[in-house]
Amino acid sequence: MRILILGGDGYLGWPTAMNLSAAGHEVGVADNYFRRNICRETNAEPLFEAPNLHDRIKIWKKKSGHEVKSFIGDLTQWSFVEEVFKSFSPEAIIHYAEQPSAPYSMLNRRAASLTISNNLMVTANVIFATREFCPEAHIVKLGTMGEYGTPNIDIEEGWLDVEHNGRAHKFLYPRQGGSLYHTTKIMDTDLMWFYVRMWKLRVTDLMQGPVYGLETDENKGEPRLYQFFNYDEIFGTVLNRFIVQAVCGFPLTVFGKGGQTRGFLNIKDTLNCVRLSIENPADKGELRIFNQFTETFSIKELAEKVQRVGNDLNLDVEINHMENPRIEAEEHYYNPKHTGLIELGLEPNFLTDDVLAEMVETVMGFRDRIDKSRIIMNIKWF
Amino acid sequence: MRILILGGDGYLGWPTAMNLSAAGHEVGVADNYFRRNICRETNAEPLFEAPNLHDRIKIWKKKSGHEVKSFIGDLTQWSFVEEVFKSFSPEAIIHYAEQPSAPYSMLNRRAASLTISNNLMVTANVIFATREFCPEAHIVKLGTMGEYGTPNIDIEEGWLDVEHNGRAHKFLYPRQGGSLYHTTKIMDTDLMWFYVRMWKLRVTDLMQGPVYGLETDENKGEPRLYQFFNYDEIFGTVLNRFIVQAVCGFPLTVFGKGGQTRGFLNIKDTLNCVRLSIENPADKGELRIFNQFTETFSIKELAEKVQRVGNDLNLDVEINHMENPRIEAEEHYYNPKHTGLIELGLEPNFLTDDVLAEMVETVMGFRDRIDKSRIIMNIKWF
């Protein structure tokens, strides 16, 4: 299948490009290095330097024999979008081309505006280009479990049947995000769902929880093919951050009570979920929604896991319940459903102590590159 | 009170400016003539020419003795927003500064992009400016009943208590708009509601139904102070359109079966609702939502009303059920609640035959200015 990955240089974009090309698909990636640029601006550099996209593609070709086509440009600009869609003629589009950081979206007015305009205008352009150049193509859009927030009832998989005053209606599950970033993802969904109804697009929305992990089947043994691995407060996801903190002797930064519970998954499972969705497309006029995670942990449980495994590896891991810079429930009900991807064939890679130990050991090899000043950046929600 | 009206040149903005200044408030209006420009671009000129904002303000001063301050500029640009908020120091902000037409938002890609970027960026700037320059100010944001769509259950006033699997949660009422314009209003609400939670803004969201009407207490007898009165397919609201069609002998354009039911209100009631909301502000950290309409009609009922009243005035009014250019339910359940504004003191001006006859007679005085080619513009949703 001809698959266009928007945001193909990112934490998920690049591993997805390798994974789908290894599976025999024809892959194109589009990116404008937006993520690299804002990492540099905020001094949130990742643990490893990554070759640029052209070089990554060459290294991957040499390792695997597979070609990936690249398009460098800004997807908020229609002229670029038009050029990419016309020349590549995608049969499927994976839309990762968003400002992906919750803390960055709360940093200041400029970062907030950029998050809104970038995320919304790219999503709109993807919709318009699909309608104009490839109306049968399947759009796989990355959502986030964070769109649901932490309601006091079960989180269903995308939709909610409501009975009210003796009548019934099925709604898109009502959403309430915990950051501006999450709110823009809700707005993306509003937009996508509207055009699915009007123009009979095929869309899969993957409501993903926080991802962790470094090695994939494709990058194993070739660190130049690693995705970005951030451990800073802005771009690092929580487990990746905790692992780096454990390795460099920084007390694990648990925000408040740590009862915040989320659905997590290994980056290997992200790749499997995306590939399963691509290979089993949504119907025409369908917005198909999957909750994409494999198990839930509270932040406190996660910290304790890292502490136990770290201490077994002779690290001296402490946990610090710091003042919560976010506005969020620190203890709450959390019961999200997630059967759709399992039914499609997902076989989860759970977070066992062995898996965690392997991640810790990999990061220990890069201990000298850790800059502790990146761990706390004091971005407040209020 | 010092009240800043964003979009103060528009169909609602200008009458609101006069109404609130007549009530003794200090009023400032900001506008960039966006609405006038897109009317001109699409050849959807209103029934009367309106003097520009400076001239309107002079005419109003001469008639009433009240001053209105004007700011001409683009509210998507932070530099302008900053200047307006700093120099005016509003205690309340009325946010009308949006691309307000559903058909325009469906016209083409350019119009769609403009609707998204204009509506979202202005809303974001209003939030950022309020936080920065007047965090205690009350924001009154114009929403639309169209955000709710036509669910198969009662439409509550902004919020919905859901019971599910033995647990309960109060959600923002789930929304599903019928056009891109309506969808951007949903996205506005997502954004506003997020920052109400984070920054304790005070916001009132007025979920308004289609407005009709021409004369207000302020413009009576002075046509140069009339708001825009559009009768074209793009900017005309349905009852205003039907009245012009009746007057010029064009069969009333009912889309499909005409069972589409909406909540309507007289523009005089819009002014009363806005003033009541301003004079009774929302609490800090509250998103207060009112459903703003006074009675519901189906489009078919409305057409029949206009036919009956028009024929009594010796017009020969026909009704034409044309093919529906929109994707919408033509027959549906519709039971929206609307008690909040009544409780605040609203005394509705209902659509009696006398009120309708008065509107028809006023428009009959401008019969020569009607351009029939503006009635059908063939904007399709699909």
Distance CA A172, CA A327 (A): 25
Specify the length of chain B in residues: 382
Name which of B165, B171, B190 is nearest A187 (Cβ-Cβ).
Answer: B190
- pLDDT number for residue B338: 98
Per-residue pLDDT band at A45 (split at 50, 70, 90): very high
Residues B259-278: tens digit of each pLDDT: 999 999 999 999 999 999 99
Tell whether B62 is within 8 A of chain A (Cβ). Answer: no
Tell whether A120 is within 8 A of chain B (Cβ). Answer: yes
**What token pair was written down for B13?**
């903005």
Question: To probe the interface with B, which of A99, A165, A187 has the most B CB atoms within 10 Å?
Answer: A187
- pLDDT number for residue B298: 98
- Grouping H, G, I as helix, E, B as strand and the rest as coil, residue A321 is strand
Phi, psi of A319 (to 5 degrees): -115, 130
Nearest chain A Cα distance for residue B193, angstroms: 9
Alpha helices (runs of H) in A89-204, residue ranges in sequence order: 102-105, 109-133, 180-199
Catalytic amino acids of A?
144, 181, 185
The dihedral region occupied by B10, where left means phi > 0, alpha psi between -120 and 50, and beta the remainder, is beta
Distance CA B177, CA A191 (A): 10
CB neighbour list of residue A18: distance below 8 Å, 6 or more residues apart: A60, A64, A66, A68, A216, A218, A219, A225
Residue B165 to residue A153, Cβ atoms within 8 A: yes
Tell whether A114 is within 8 A of chain B (Cβ). Answer: no
CB B47 within 8 A of CB B366: yes
Q: Which amino acid is at A203?
A: V
On average, the pLDDT of chain A sits at: 97
CB B315 within 8 A of CB B270: no
- Rounded alpha-carbon distances, angstroms, from residue B117 to A76, A108, A159: 11, 19, 28
**How many CB atoms are located within 10 Å of the residue A100 CB?**
24
Distance CA A179, CA B320 (A): 49
CB A266 within 8 A of CB A305: no
**How many CB atoms are located within 10 Å of the residue A308 CB?**
12
For B172, which residue in chain A has the nearest alpha carbon?
A: A174
* B332-335, long-range: CB < 8 A, 24+ apart: B332/B150, B332/B152, B332/B259, B332/B260, B332/B261, B333/A167, B333/B150, B333/B151, B333/B152, B333/B153, B334/B150, B334/B155, B334/B261, B334/B262, B334/B296, B335/B154, B335/B155
Q: What share of chain A is helix, strand, coil (3-state, %, to 5)?
A: 40, 20, 40
Residue B117 to residue A112, Cβ atoms within 8 A: no
- pLDDT number for residue B246: 98
- pLDDT number for residue A202: 98
CB A332 within 8 A of CB A184: no
Catalytic amino acids of B?
144, 181, 185
C-alpha closest to that of A244 among A255, A229, A256:
A229
Kindly list the residues from chain B whose CB atom is less than 8 angstroms away from the CB atom of residue A334. Answer: none
Phi, psi of A104 (to 5 degrees): -60, -40
| Burial degree of B382 (CB within 10 A; 0-12, 13-18, 19+) | exposed
Nearest chain A Cα distance for residue B71, angstroms: 23
Tell whether A169 is within 8 A of chain B (Cβ). Answer: yes
Neighbouring C-alpha atoms within 13 Å toward the C-beta of A171? 26
CB neighbour list of residue A198: distance below 8 Å, 6 or more residues apart: B327, B381, B382
Residue A151 to residue B163, Cβ atoms within 8 A: no
> Considering all CA atoms of chain A, what is the largest pairwise distance in Å, rounded to the nearest integer?
64
Q: Which domains does chain A have, with CATH numbers?
A: 2-374 (3.40.50.720)
For A150, which residue in chain B has the nearest alpha carbon?
A: B169
Average pLDDT rounded to a whole number, residues A84-99: 98
- pLDDT number for residue B99: 97
- pLDDT number for residue B365: 95
CB neighbour list of residue A348: distance below 8 Å, 6 or more residues apart: A265, A266, A269, A294, A295, A342
Name which of B153, B164, B168 is nearest A168 (Cβ-Cβ).
Answer: B153
Which value, in Å, is the radius of gyration of the alpha carbons in chain A? 20
Nearest chain A Cα distance for residue B329, angstroms: 12
C-alpha closest to that of A73 among A58, A91, A51, A88:
A88
Residues A300-338: tens digit of each pLDDT: 999 999 999 999 999 999 999 999 999 999 999 999 999
Per-residue pLDDT band at A102 (split at 50, 70, 90): very high
Question: To probe the interface with B, which of A198, A327, A335, A381 has the most B CB atoms within 10 Å?
Answer: A198
Name which of A113, A128, A176 is nearest B109 (Cβ-Cβ).
Answer: A128
CB A139 within 8 A of CB A201: yes
CA B180 to chain centre: 15
Residue A190 to residue B193, Cβ atoms within 8 A: no
Average pLDDT rounded to a whole number, residues A84-111: 98
Residue that the structure tokens 């029939």 belong to: B372
Residues B12-58: tens digit of each pLDDT: 999 999 999 999 999 999 999 999 999 999 999 999 989 999 999 99
- Grouping H, G, I as helix, E, B as strand and the rest as coil, residue B261 is strand
Residues A172-193: tens digit of each pLDDT: 999 999 999 999 999 999 999 9
Tell whether A149 is within 8 A of chain B (Cβ). Answer: no
Tell whether A314 is within 8 A of chain B (Cβ). Answer: no
Residue A198 to residue B109, Cβ atoms within 8 A: no
- Grouping H, G, I as helix, E, B as strand and the rest as coil, residue A289 is strand
CB B4 within 8 A of CB B30: yes
Residue B154 to residue A164, Cβ atoms within 8 A: yes
**Virtual CA dihedral for A45, A47, A52, A54, nearest 10 degrees?**
-150
pLDDT > 90 fraction of chain A, expressed in percent and rounded: 99
- pLDDT number for residue B39: 95
Instruction: Provide ipTM, 2 decimals.
Output: 0.97
For A190, which residue in chain B has the nearest alpha carbon?
A: B183
Q: Which three-class secondary structure string do you get for B19-73?
A: HHHHCCCEEEEEECCHHHHHHHHCCCCCCCCCCCHHHHHHHHHHHHCCCEEEEEC
**What token pair was written down for A153?**
């009832």
CB neighbour list of residue B322: distance below 8 Å, 6 or more residues apart: B253, B254, B255, B256
Distance CA A109, CA A112 (A): 5
For A147, which residue in chain B has the nearest alpha carbon?
A: B190
Low-confidence ranges of chain B (pLDDT < 70): none
- pLDDT number for residue B33: 97
CB A111 within 8 A of CB A66: no
